[in-house]
């Protein structure tokens, strides 16, 4: 099962993408789905099947969802970044994305006018399926309803202006998400899923989730002791070593580059980088092209 968002008739619905990527079967309305995600996945789909050309693929994300991200969460990536020759922090480094920064596979990613290029960060997103308050790690992990491939594309110049990362992590259209795969089909990330990123066919990241410093259950439990997590919230779990800014010389994504993130059991997420002149343009690709590139 691969869960996506589809927009038609002015509303967003949650749908199951067919194995061949040619159709979507509506599961429920967006808010109805996140009111009971586990039940929505267990019940027969509420709607019919549409050809992908009749709907626009969008992230199945509530507007008010909290998008929390873990920085420097793989041992080797921490070493190539801020914690070279230093002990790793006891607690996860957390930052936030706005839901408006999220997009889908196949969508263009524009380079902001102040950046020489963008940096890739292939990773996995965990989707929260239950309300969590003061949870323990086991309870928090059991609340995860599914996982998606994610690319935490970063505007490094904006990120490095200050010690706070918000600006560099929220460039327009910089957070492509793949379809959500239910947890039962993915397993436990602690067992190790391979995470790879390619730029124009060249592998630039190749890691395993077994190398995470702070795992999903621990991190969600930590967050829940300060703020309540709700169904539909997302946790981006961090990226392996191999990002562009840490290379000599630095390597950034520029217009025309194609970046792919491939995660074992979750699929391939593919996007093309474009110039800043496309930044204010609406997503113009048809759903068929978007879905075709998201798998």
Residue 51 within a domain: no
Give the count of domains, the chain.
1
Half-sphere exposure of 66 (CA within 13 A, CB side): 17
DSSP state of 42: H
Instruction: Please indicate, yes or no, if residue 3 is contained in any of the structural domains.
Output: no
The C-alpha atoms of residue 232 and residue 45 are separated, in whole angstroms, by: 19
Which residue bears the tokens 């990773």? Answer: 123
Whole-prediction pTM: 0.92
Polymer length of the chain? 295
Task: Write out pLDDT tens, residues 27-54.
Answer: 999 999 999 999 999 998 878 888 988 8
| Interval 161-194: pLDDT, tens | 999 999 999 999 999 999 999 999 999 999 999 9
Domain extent, residue 220, equals 61-282
DSSP secondary structure of 96-122:
EE-GGGEEETT-EEEPPTT-S-BB--E
pLDDT digits (tens, 9 = 90+) for 251-283: 999 999 999 999 999 999 999 999 999 987 544
**Position 71 in a domain:** yes
Domain membership of residue 257 (yes or no) is yes
CATH of the domain at 116: 3.90.850.10
**Is residue 42, in this structure, part of any structural domain at all?**
no
């Amino acid at each position: 099962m691969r869960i996506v968002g589809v927009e038609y008739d002015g509303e967003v619905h949650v749908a199951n993408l067919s194995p061949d990527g040619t159709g979507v079967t509506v599961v429920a309305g967006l808010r109805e789905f996140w009111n009971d995600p586990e039940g929505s996945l267990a019940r027969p789909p509420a709607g019919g099947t549409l050809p992908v050309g009749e709907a626009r693929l969008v992230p199945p994300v509530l507007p008010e969802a909290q998008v929390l991200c873990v920085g420097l969460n793989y041992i080797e990536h921490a070493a190539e970044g801020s914690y070279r020759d230093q002990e790793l922090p006891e607690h996860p480094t957390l930052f936030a994305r706005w839901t408006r920064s999220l997009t889908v596979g196949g969508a263009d990613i524009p380079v902001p006018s102040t950046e020489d290029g963008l940096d890739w960060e292939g990773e996995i997103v965990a989707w929260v399926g239950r309300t969590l308050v003061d949870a323990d790690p086991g309870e928090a992990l059991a609340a995860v309803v599914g996982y998606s491939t994610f690319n935490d594309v970063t505007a490094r110049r904006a990120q490095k202006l200050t010690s706070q990362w918000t600006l560099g992590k929220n460039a327009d259209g910089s957070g492509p998400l793949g379809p959500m795969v239910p947890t039962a089909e993915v397993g436990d990330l602690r067992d190790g899923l391979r995470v790879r990123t390619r730029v124009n066919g060249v592998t630039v990241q190749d890691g395993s989730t077994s190398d995470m410093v702070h795992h999903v259950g621990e991190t969600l439990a930590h967050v829940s002791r300060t703020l309540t997590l709700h169904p539909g919230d997302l946790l981006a779990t961090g990226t392996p070593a191999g990002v562009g800014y840490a290379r000599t010389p630095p390597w950034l994504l520029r217009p025309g580059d194609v970046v792919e993130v491939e995660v074992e059991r979750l699929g391939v997420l593919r996007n093309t980088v474009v110039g800043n002149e496309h930044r204010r343009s609406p997503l113009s690709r048809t759903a068929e092209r978007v879905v075709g590139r998201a798998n």
